[in-house]
Amino acid sequence: MEKTTIEKTKERHQEEYKAFIEFLKRTKDGKYAPVEKTSVPYKRIKAETEVVESYEEEYYYSLR
């Protein structure tokens, strides 16, 4: 039986969580550069782009 989308999403989130915890442990142990205290309140997010459909005609010109 194939996994559902929800099961795949939960599995992916669990893997990301484990990776994040491992990163925090290694950072605490000094394996990475120290985190500046001023950076703690900030969080990185994945960039999202929105495609805007344009109904204007496009013209392309070239010289031969």
Q: Give the model confidence (pLDDT) of 16-57 as tens digits.
A: 999 999 988 988 888 877 767 787 777 776 777 777 777 777
- Asked if residues 22 and 29 have their Cβ atoms less than 8 Å apart, the reply is no
Query: Is the pTM for the entire model greater than 0.85?
Result: no
Residue 2: the pLDDT is 67
Confidence of residue 14 (pLDDT cuts 50, 70, 90): very high
The domain limits of the chain are: 5-39
Extract long-range pairs of 13-17: CB within 8 Å, 24+ residues apart.
none
Confidence of residue 1 (pLDDT cuts 50, 70, 90): low
Question: pLDDT at residue 6 above 80?
Answer: yes
